[in-house]
Structure 1
Amino acid sequence: MPVEGSVGRRRRGPSMADVAQLAGVSGQTVSRVANGRQNVDEVTRARVQDAMRQLGYRPNGAARALRSGQFRSIGVIVFELSTFGTTRTLDAIATAATARGYSVNLRPVLEASQSAVTEAFNRLSEQAVDGVVVLNEAHVLDDVQLPTSLPVVVLDASSHYGYPVVDADQTQGARLATEHLLELGHETVWHLAGPRTSYSADRRRRSWEQTLIERGCDVPPVLVGDWSPTSGYEVGRELAANDKVTAVFVANDQMALGLLRALHECGRTVPDDVSVVGFDDMEEAACFWPPLTTVRQTFAEIGHRSVNALLADLDDPDPHPAPIAIPTELVIRHSTAPPRST
């Protein structure tokens, strides 16, 4: 029969003293093993670890962090959760952090202001993180000073911050896409850009424009979407109505999907009438109809390099870090071809 007052009481887990008693060693020896110290002989270490397994004992991570000054946790501040690039980058960061033995603490920021950013940093500091990755897809930090209380790596941003900046080489990717279409024989390339607030969209647009200028080609007016297939479809209907359009570089694959539908509905075949190149190489791009020629960003490498840059900054801060640009790659499929002969 249960003892009065015992209902709902949590059962005490095994303690360090319990492990010491079972292993026949001192509590200090158990502590050394739990904290990975080397001054324990292998036979004793094995006996202590076996006792831990038998009892189900887990060392107190918070206590170890206080002693070592490291929490094995990375904070991530993100300003936009809904885009494909953001979700893939977050997944890559979490995977890379886990591989290095770190957990990830996500902190969305819904307002682009100094107070909101400072509050996010303060909350992460309270939750004991070793450093912060700022995933800055839009121009939200232009007028914001990042706090200096924690090591920081910034992704998808300009390089004017005094922190390591990691991103895919957007300029290279847009140039590869534009040059591919010009080399097929198209007189010029139209561009469906991402939002004007986006760093990535801005760099892709500038590179497209510069490539056309260097080749002596006319620069068509820029059309702007919001990264969604719906916006690609709406702009696509406008492009489909213009017989001068024979090649389009789209700033992401999702808008390219909407563009393909619009062209199809308007009787413009791809790639015979219009060639289309996207950006990202999302998994579904190979299953579009026709399969989409696109620029591949290696999100796994972006996550790996950003976590490595942050952990390196923890050990040896660089006062003048050089930006890290991850190369992009053009993946040629069936949505591009030479222009139809007239």
Structure 2
Amino acid sequence: MESSESAVTRRPATIYDVAQAAGVSHQTVSRFLKGFEGIRPETREKVERALDELGYRPNLTARSLKSGRSHRIGALTHEVSHVGPSRIAAGAGAAAREAGYVLDLVALDVDDARSIEESLELLTQHDLAGVLALSSTDAMTRAFEETRFRVPALIAVSSDSDGGRHDPAATHLHELVDHLAALGHRRFVHIAGPVEWPAARWRTQMYERAVDELGLTSVGVLPGDWSSRSGYQAIMSLPTLPHATAYVAANDQTALGVMLALKERGVRIPEDVSVVGIDDIGDAAYFDPPLTTLHLEFEAQGQASVLELIATIEGAPRTFDPIAQPHVVARRSSGPAPR
């Protein structure tokens, strides 16, 4: 049976607990939480340390009652099993908490139009400060654009091909092609993502543009759906392998399937061909061989989106930290082109 002392230590910390731990008054803690600037640096440091040690979280219910407005944000997404959407949502959630908001995540079934409508109707009935619509597909974007949100809403489209918010991977994909070209590769294959995702279409366009601008040759674009299985099937379904020395996969999971299929067909990596991916997922460094990939800051994308929405909600300008640019992480899956 737990001791009463253990039970007490597990209850949520209050500003009085923080004040006691920091050796200051609870009024000082309250002023700190409200953003009051006239607190001495040494006092501010004590309060920050106490907040961190106690894991203090503001009482949003009480805060909402006092201010007369909600501090909950509804976040709409789908395919949370995919690395990109899940990490973007995680980044948005963390940034919302730091700003004093709670992010309610709702995963949609984009293949069921009625399901999207019902989820949107249910969400907009709640007392929300705003809605963050994390759109990855054409169907999601259409549904969001046709919805009349009762609160401030931000539709964060992953990318488009019309000069709007571009997928950061696509705009830096030429760096992957440059990396391979520097290793002597001249003939390429691209394994694409699903066509209903603007990000996939844009990555394919940028791949083709990079190959063309460097005077290289693309010997084919194979269909995929972001999964390892689709990468594997794309290679195994070919009657004969294309005369190419470099394979550019739309993401790391696809690259994993491509690598297995090539090995089963007797091709060595990187001695015979090089394979590269996009995302730099946590397991990419432990593929066999470790995967060369384009590193993306998914969490930072989610953070930027939610902070943009909060700025709209609060009607106050915010300064945003610049998102680190994608960059190539060279590992052993890419090597010099064979003679």
- Closer, same or farther: CA 273–59 of 1 in aligned 2, 3 Å: closer
Q: Secondary structure at the match of 1:220?
A: strand
Q: Secondary structure at the match of 2:225?
A: coil
CA distance in 2, matches of 1:150, 1:247: 48
- Contact 2:160 / 2:167 at 8 angstroms: preserved in 1? no
Q: Secondary structure at the match of 1:283?
A: coil
Q: Does 1:74 align with 2:64?
A: no
Q: Secondary structure at the match of 2:307?
A: helix
- Closer, same or farther: CA 289–167 of 1 in aligned 2, 3 Å: same
Following TM superposition, by how much is the alpha carbon of 1:81 offset from its aligned partner in structure 2, in angstroms?
2.6
Following TM superposition, by how much is the alpha carbon of 1:96 offset from its aligned partner in structure 2, in angstroms?
1.7
Gaps of 5+ in 2: 1-26, 36-56
Following TM superposition, by how much is the alpha carbon of 1:203 offset from its aligned partner in structure 2, in angstroms?
1.3
Match of 1:87, as an amino acid?
S
Match of 1:334, as an amino acid?
R
Which stretch of the first structure deviates more once superposed, 106-115 or 92-101? 106-115
Give % identity.
32
Match of 2:332 in 1: 334
TM-score normalised by L of structure 2: 0.73
Match of 2:8 in 1: none
For 1:1-342, list aligned pairs within 5 A. 61-62=60-61, 64-111=63-110, 117=116, 119-144=118-143, 145-158=146-159, 168-238=167-237, 241-242=240-241, 244-316=243-315, 327-341=325-339
CA distance in 2, matches of 1:281, 1:196: 22
Which stretch of the first structure deviates more once superposed, 166-175 or 107-116? 107-116
- Contact 2:141 / 2:157 at 8 angstroms: preserved in 1? no
Following TM superposition, by how much is the alpha carbon of 1:269 offset from its aligned partner in structure 2, in angstroms?
0.5
Write out per-residue CA displacement over residues 86-120 of structure 1, whole angstroms, 9 at most, x where no aligned residue: 12222222222222222111222224687655543
Alignment size in residue pairs: 284
Following TM superposition, by how much is the alpha carbon of 1:291 offset from its aligned partner in structure 2, in angstroms?
0.6
- Closer, same or farther: CA 259–193 of 1 in aligned 2, 3 Å: same
CA distance in 1, matches of 2:106, 2:226: 23
Q: Secondary structure at the match of 2:217?
A: coil
- Contact 1:239 / 1:245 at 8 angstroms: preserved in 2? no
Which stretch of the first structure deviates more once superposed, 143-152 or 101-110? 143-152
Match of 2:176, as an amino acid?
A
Gaps of 5+ in 1: 1-29, 39-57, 319-323
Match of 2:256, as an amino acid?
L
- Contact 1:190 / 1:221 at 8 angstroms: preserved in 2? yes
CA distance in 1, matches of 2:141, 2:75: 19
CA distance in 2, matches of 1:167, 1:273: 34
Match of 2:151, as an amino acid?
L
CA distance in 2, matches of 1:131, 1:170: 28
Following TM superposition, by how much is the alpha carbon of 1:61 offset from its aligned partner in structure 2, in angstroms?
4.8
- Closer, same or farther: CA 259–59 of 1 in aligned 2, 3 Å: closer
CA distance in 2, matches of 1:149, 1:62: 21
CA distance in 2, matches of 1:59, 1:135: 26
Following TM superposition, by how much is the alpha carbon of 1:79 offset from its aligned partner in structure 2, in angstroms?
3.0
Write out per-residue CA displacement over residues 119-160 of structure 1, whole angstroms, 9 at most, x where no aligned residue: 434422332221111111111145442424222223344569
CA distance in 2, matches of 1:117, 1:150: 18
Larger Rg: 1
Write out per-residue CA displacement over residues 41-97 of structure 1, whole angstroms, 9 at most, x where no aligned residue: xxxxxxxxxxxxxxxxx9985464245243221111113232121122222222222
TM-score normalised by L of structure 1: 0.73
Q: Secondary structure at the match of 1:254?
A: helix
- Closer, same or farther: CA 325–137 of 1 in aligned 2, 3 Å: farther
Write out per-residue CA displacement over residues 152-191 of structure 1, whole angstroms, 9 at most, x where no aligned residue: 2233445699xxx877513223221122212221113210
CA distance in 2, matches of 1:317, 1:118: 31
- Contact 1:273 / 1:339 at 8 angstroms: preserved in 2? yes
CA distance in 2, matches of 1:237, 1:62: 56
- Closer, same or farther: CA 261–305 of 1 in aligned 2, 3 Å: same
- Tell me how large the CA RMSD over aligned residues is: 3.3
CA distance in 2, matches of 1:134, 1:123: 14
Q: Secondary structure at the match of 1:257?
A: helix
- Contact 1:172 / 1:327 at 8 angstroms: preserved in 2? no
